[in-house]
Amino acid sequence: MSEISSGTAVPSAVTPAVRLAGISKRFGAVQANRGVEFEIAPGTVHGLVGENGAGKSTLMAILYGYYQADAGHIEVQGQRVQIANSHQAIALGIGMVHQHFMLVDTLSCLDNVMLGAEPAFFLARAKREVRAKLEALMRDTGLHVHLDALVADLPVGELQRLEILKALYRGARILILDEPTAVLTPQETQQLFETLRRLRALGTTIILITHKLKEVMALCDAVTVMRAGQVIKTCDIRDTSPEDLAEAMVGRKVNLGRSGGAAEGRDERLSVNGLCLKSEQGVALLSDVSLSLRAGEIVGVAGVSGNGQSELLELLSGMRAPDAGRMSLGGASFEAARWLEPRGARALKLAHVPEDRHACGMVMSFPAWETAVLGYHDQAQYRCGPGGLTMNEGHMRAQTAEMMERFDVRPRNAELGSSKFSGGNQQKLVLAREIGQAPAVLLVGQPTRGVDIGAIEFIHGQLRALRDAGCAVLLVSSELDEILALADRVLVMNGGRITGELPIDQCDEKSLGLLMAAQAD
Amino acid sequence: MSQPVQLPRWMDIGLLPLWNLAVALAVAGLVVLVIGQSPAQALTVLLNGALGSTRGLGYTLYYATTFIFTGLAVAVAFHGGLFNIGGEGQATVGGIGVGLTALWLSPHLPAPLMLPVLVLAAALFGMAWAAIPAYLQAWRGSHIVITTIMFNFLASSLNVYLLVNLLRPKGSMAVESSMFADSARMPALHELAARLGFELPSSPLNLSLVLALAACVFVWWFLWKSRAGYALRAVGSAPKAAHYAGIRPRMQVLVAMGLSGALAGMVGINEISGVQGKLTLDFVAGAGFTGIAVSLMGRNHPVGIVLASLLFGVLYQGGVEVSFEIPGFSREMVVTVQGLIVLFAGAMAMVSAPLFGRLYLLFKSKEAAHG
């Protein structure tokens, strides 16, 4: 294991830490990377941005040894290398922090770092050695974690520090971070950036994959923009701006700013009172949650993921019943014992765009036209034959084609498998299905998670249009920018409670961030 | 983390199964060589015995009929996300249903009334037998694989109990019921042919084959054309999405297993009403398990299941001929060869897929280079 703490070896400024030369990679019909040239000066933070499917993940997977390039080669510290698997990548000093943490919940932090890299046969001795090394590492880098705490008990910010420590412990001098801030509060993000700046000062080279352009501007020294498998531009951070980068990513001008306001004082469409929910283990997931939605407004629910937002959506859409609480929706009222069911919710014109579109919003093995009627497949318009037993496939296909046209789902192929569409197009299809029912209330969870920036603009536009048409919209998002751009009123959730409510003109990242983080531990 | 290659359709459902079959036959040939027999001779006798005569063909189709029923049963449950290992037991209970109904009603009802009643009885008994594990899975969380296996033993014991203690005619030593009246016999094909004035050699092939083919069409319609099938497939491939869509997953477990059990129960028509004319012991003879291989090999699609059933029909009928014709080629040897085919074409069906994927890519890139 090499020490990163020495800090004396200052590499020559001309040799890039990593150079990818002419990398091409094809998956079936998709050219994921096309002659990509990419190099990073040592000791810098380099942003890699691009829409979903632009090829940045594939490029990093090639660098980390998950895939082999069809053409081109890789140089690390000026040496031409072959990286056949991630073990070789680690041996070359490349470390990766995945968006989804690769940690074992039931082990301690120390054990997680050690797993697969035990320095001695007997555990007690191995642990002693690892602990000593980690403590030195934590001192030098300022990355602090509780080594003896179980991973399952720790907040995400700390887990991320653990992942970085894990990579550093294995001798990483080149660190790849894949969307590291997706799960963090603004304050945690600031903390992470402090850490990364310190690592940079210690000589670590950092590649930051992200789609948040503000973060690129705040942290990076240089940035590379990818589109459709190719590098569109690489430049020094001082020579660019967020607007400039967004345009390079999408290939045209985009506007993600706020526009339009809500109509005031319309009628109440949905209200819940005193919702409580406990997990099977008896842990309180939601405590005394009350809220109401009025026609013609978008109510944003902000909060760090896992503070009860998902459960709130499940309750409001009828997918799960609370332990206590009342709800009124479209003139009907429900008690905890006789709660709303998904079928009934649709009948009361409540539509739901679920957070997890892969597991929930669509059936991945179905063709697009079967996914496009999911939940509405029992409607009279989709029945035919004796007794209405048969699906009216012709009508389903026609409706799907219409949805695809209206929401610009690409490719316009109703027969294509649902899993074959990109994230943005899958989301557009789900939105088209739910919005197509002209709902009175729309619940939306993470509408733009894993969606590229061009589609984000379109989806936001659709949600605003729906609001303007008088629909009551509840928007749950872990992206503060999204809430700030769309919502008329913001609720903040923390620990299963609503800890604050602010009209949009009193919201900024700081005030919301403080509410989100309050008593988080 | 290597990327699986999407095979073109013709490779996936055409070339790959044929290749698997060829590999299985090659390995089986090696085994035959090792015991000092000629693989070529064994294969000739097998094919000739199964397909070389009208009589052999009749037997082959008769076996295939049973496999179609059990194969469809496995496929329907599979599309509902369930692995029904209980085809054997459901078929047994379907046969018991046929036996009891026939013993009770066949002296009083004419064939045109009796036969539909028997079909209904077979389906209902099989369905009921499958509904119990389905209920236990959906509401009590007992795993369907475990319960259906146990229900196979229960069904077999139930059949023995009924035959030994209740149905055996007084004074008879044979463990079987008395014969049904003629109205409860599914007409054999050679009898029908004789009535129409041309002669077919006698074989157990009966009208159940038509029933099996009708069941194939029904299953195809149900799974891919009906709204009920839509709900079933949604639960099978994405239970959370189905719940989101307002489909009740528990009900779908009952539907899938009920239909599956009904299809397996139809084996009772072919074997008890079509061939035996009385309730006997062990008439399913492993067809319930063969159904799993048939469904796997037929990719859980009715057309594939018909083809796979024909293959297994050939193996069964041809295998019998081989063990008769070739001295030293025992019945066990035939079972071994069948087992190899199940192993390669069923259980290991996708093992060669990556190889074909690479070949396909190689071929494609060459083509691209030339074009």
Nearest to B225 among A27, A364, A391 (CB): A391
Q: At A274, is the secondary structure helix, strand, or coil?
A: strand
**Predicted local distance difference test score (pLDDT) of residue A391:** 93
CB count within 10 Å of CB A200 equals: 17
**Predicted local distance difference test score (pLDDT) of residue A264:** 57
**Predicted local distance difference test score (pLDDT) of residue A254:** 62
A88/chain B closest Cα distance in angstroms: 15
C-alpha count within 13 angstroms, C-beta hemisphere, residue A210? 24
Can you give the residue ranges of every domain in chain A?
Answer: 18-93+173-250, 259-349+438-521, 364-435
Across A335-339, B127-131, B260-264, B342-346, least confident range? B342-346
The chain-wide mean pLDDT, for chain B, equals 90
Look-up: residue for tokens 């020294």?
A221
Task: Summarize the confidence of residues A455-463 as an average pLDDT.
Answer: 89
DSSP B118: H
Instruction: Identify whether B354 is preceded by a cis peptide bond (ω within 30 of 0).
Output: no
Q: Name chain B contacts of A354, Cβ cutoff 8 Å.
A: 244
CB B10 within 8 A of CB B331: no
Q: Does B284 touch chain A (CB under 8 A)?
A: no
Task: Summarize the confidence of residues B258-277 as an average pLDDT.
Answer: 96
Q: Does B2 score more than 70 pLDDT? A: no
**Predicted local distance difference test score (pLDDT) of residue A265:** 59
Q: Does A354 touch chain B (CB under 8 A)?
A: yes
Nearest CA in chain B to A393: B225
Q: Does A7 score more than 50 pLDDT? A: no
Q: Name chain A contacts of B221, Cβ cutoff 8 Å.
A: 390
**Predicted local distance difference test score (pLDDT) of residue B324:** 87
Nearest to A342 among B1, B228, B244 (CB): B244
Task: Summarize the confidence of residues A293-321 as an average pLDDT.
Answer: 90
Pick from A158, A200, A144: nearest CA to A175 = A200
CB A109 within 8 A of CB A149: yes
Across A499-508, B105-114, B161-170, B200-209, least confident range? A499-508
Across A19-23, A226-230, B110-114, least confident range? A226-230
User: How far is the first Cα of chain A from the last one, in angstroms, to the nearest whole number?
Assistant: 34
- Percent of chain B whose predicted confidence (pLDDT) is above 70: 96
The per-residue b/e assignment along B143-160, b for 16 or more CB within 10 angstroms, e otherwise, is ebeebbeebbebbbebbe
How many angstroms separate the CA atoms of A473 and A456, rounded?
17
**Predicted local distance difference test score (pLDDT) of residue A500:** 86
CB contact under 8 A, A377 and B230: yes
Same CATH fold assignment for domains A18-93+173-250 and A259-349+438-521? yes
Phi, psi for residue A293 in degrees, rounded to 5: -120, 135
Nearest to B1 among A66, A354, A359 (CB): A66
Can you give the residue ranges of every domain in chain B?
Answer: 54-322
Q: At B25, is the secondary structure helix, strand, or coil?
A: helix
**Predicted local distance difference test score (pLDDT) of residue A255:** 59
Q: Does B7 score more than 50 pLDDT? A: yes
The architecture (CATH level 2) of A18-93+173-250 comes to 3-Layer(aba) Sandwich (3.40)
Q: Does B250 touch chain A (CB under 8 A)?
A: no
C-alpha count within 13 angstroms, C-beta hemisphere, residue A3? 12
How many angstroms separate the CA atoms of B102 and B106, rounded?
5
The chain-wide mean pLDDT, for chain A, equals 86
Q: Does A94 score more than 50 pLDDT? A: yes
Domain A259-349+438-521 bears CATH identifier 3.30.43.10: no
Q: Does B225 touch chain A (CB under 8 A)?
A: yes
* Residue A11, both tokens: 């590499």
Test mutation, A363, A378, A397, A444, chain B, max B CBs within 10 A: A363
Q: Does A1 score more than 60 pLDDT? A: no
> How far is Cα of residue B346 from the mean position of the Cα atoms in its chain?
13
Whats the size of chain A, residue-wise? 521
CB A15 within 8 A of CB A43: no
Task: Summarize the confidence of residues A180-187 as an average pLDDT.
Answer: 78
**Predicted local distance difference test score (pLDDT) of residue B31:** 87
Q: Does B337 score more than 80 pLDDT? A: no
Nearest CA in chain B to A65: B1
Q: Does B356 touch chain A (CB under 8 A)?
A: no
C-alpha count within 13 angstroms, C-beta hemisphere, residue A347? 11
Q: What is the maximum span of chain A, computed from C-alpha positions, in angstroms?
A: 82
Q: What is the pLDDT of residues A139-150, one digit of tens each?
A: 888 888 899 989
pLDDT band at B232, cuts 50/70/90? very high
Q: Which CATH number fits domain B54-322: 1.10.1760, 1.10.3470, 1.20.120, 1.10.260?
A: 1.10.3470
* Residue A233, both tokens: 């531009």
Q: What is the pTM of this model?
A: 0.79
Q: Does A346 touch chain B (CB under 8 A)?
A: yes
Nearest CA in chain B to A25: B3
Report ipTM for this prediction: 0.83
Q: Name chain B contacts of A28, Cβ cutoff 8 Å.
A: 5-6
CB A330 within 8 A of CB A350: yes
- Burial level of A175, CB count in 10 A (0-12/13-18/19+)? buried
CB contact under 8 A, A360 and B234: no
Q: Does A356 score more than 90 pLDDT? A: no
Q: Does B256 score more than 90 pLDDT? A: yes
* Contacts of residue A185, Cβ cutoff 8 Å, sequence gap at least 6: A157, A304, A513, A516, A517, A520
pLDDT band at A10, cuts 50/70/90? very low
A68/chain B closest Cα distance in angstroms: 9
**Predicted local distance difference test score (pLDDT) of residue A260:** 54
- Burial level of A442, CB count in 10 A (0-12/13-18/19+)? buried
Q: What is the pLDDT of residues A476-488, one digit of tens each?
A: 988 888 888 899 8
pLDDT band at A324, cuts 50/70/90? very high
CB contact under 8 A, A374 and B241: yes
CA distances from residue B349 to B208, B240, B296 in whole angstroms, order as listed: 29, 29, 8
CB contact under 8 A, A27 and B230: no
Q: Does A329 score more than 80 pLDDT? A: yes
Q: What angle do CA A66, A68, A41 make, to 5 degrees?
A: 80
pLDDT band at A258, cuts 50/70/90? low
Q: Does A510 touch chain B (CB under 8 A)?
A: no
